[in-house]
Amino acid sequence: MYAQLVETGVKRVTPLAEMSEQERSFQERIDGEIKIEAKNWMPEAYRQTLIRQISQHAHSEIVGMLPEGNWVTRAPTFKRKLQLMAKIQDEAGHGLYLYSAMETLGADRDEEVARLHSGKAKYSSIFNYPTLNWADMGAVGWLVDGAAIVNQVVLQRTSYGPYSRAMVRICKEESFHQRQGYEILLTMMREGNQAQRDMVQDAINRLWWPALMMFGPSDEHSPNSAQSMAWKIKRQSNDELRQRFIDQTIPQLELLGCTCPDPELKWNAERGHYDFGEIQWEEFYEVLKGNGPCNQERLDTRRQAMEDGAWVRAAAVAHAARKAARDAA
């Protein structure tokens, strides 16, 4: 999910015959489903692609705390407040795992965060949408974490060992968040009043399409996918994952008693899948370029946090140095 458009810098997939011996033995390892580890040789483009993908994923966890942080001070009951706080805490933890996985590739966390803040590095487009009512907390858990899981379950088999292992840990927690999110919506629909049911439908209307966009561009406009698939960084195409998400989510939507904001959505018995309408790709690319509803606010908040915290980090470093000197004396 959280890394939806990753440049590989590779125009076409190199055939085995054109590879050097080193490249060929690397590709054979990949084809043999043997995980690549930090100390193994890897093509520079593989390394850079992974750094981009994992950092994008990590940034998404961190920026993704903000739409929920918007409601954590307003959660309506103890139970919901505690759940949301636990979820936000998990997300910060996921960010930490992922930055660590990224650092095994020789990248530097601070440099990558600086790239995020300067607008050079991306994060998931979904977090540029505002959370406007409490039902958004349920819908984000159900749809956004749901889309993330569809993607991440596959990434548990990604070819780079540290990334794959991070995904295993993260998936367990994400599944829990997703069930909680769904339960928020179910409670509002079944036990709530009309105003609450309206909030749920409103949240779904606003977040449905952005959640589908989390899978990235359609396969025909996904020039980087072929190389990522050959390296088994990606294991399934954007459109395959998107279709799987829709197929598994529509029955859940029906159980809620809500409708899908897609007039073209229809079960196709022949394909055994749901057909669905065209995604607003113009909107998708605008959001990725930084022109979504909250891009500015999200980055401003993160930049401000780092700026305001600079003196704290400097103090921690100075104190640690003084303490180390004292201990050595």
Distance CA 84, CA 38 (A): 35
Q: Yes or no: say if 42 and 30 are a contact pair by the CB < 8 Å rule.
A: no
Residue number with CB closer to other proteins (24 or 109): 109
Our finding on whether 251 is near other proteins (CB under 8 A) is no
Chosen residue from 40, 271, 309, 324 binding other proteins by CB under 8 A: 309
Of 150 and 184, nearer to other proteins (C-beta) is: 184
Nearer to other proteins, 141 or 216 (CB): 141
Distance (Å, rounded) from C-alpha 1 to C-alpha 222? 15
Check residue 85 for interaction with other proteins (CB under 8 A).
yes
The tokens for 104 are 């095994």
User: Can residue 89 be called a binding residue for other proteins (CB under 8 A)?
Assistant: yes
Q: Does 308 bind other proteins (CB under 8 A)?
A: yes
Over the Cα atoms of the chain, what is R_g? 21
Does 80 engage in binding with other proteins (CB under 8 A)?
Answer: yes
Question: Is 17 a binder of other proteins (CB under 8 A)?
Answer: no
Taking a C-beta distance cutoff of 8 angstroms, is the pair 53, 117 a contact? no
- Does residue 65 interact with other proteins by CB under 8 A? yes
CA distance 20 to 28: 12
List the one residue from 193, 278, 282, 327 that touches other proteins (CB under 8 A): 193
- Rounded to whole angstroms, the Cα distance separating 276 from 254 reads 16
What number of other Cβ atoms are within 10 A of residue 275's Cβ?
A: 14
Structure-block tokens of residue 108: 């530097």
Instruction: With residue 18 as reference, give the H or E element that holds it.
Output: none
Choice between 32 and 77, CB closer to other proteins? 77
Q: Which is nearer to other proteins, 268 or 304 (CB)?
A: 304
Assign 283 to helix, strand or coil. helix
Site residues for other proteins per CB under 8 A = 62, 65-66, 68-69, 72-82, 85-86, 88-89, 92-93, 95-96, 99, 134, 184, 187-188, 191-193, 195-196, 301-302, 304-306, 308-316, 318-320, 322
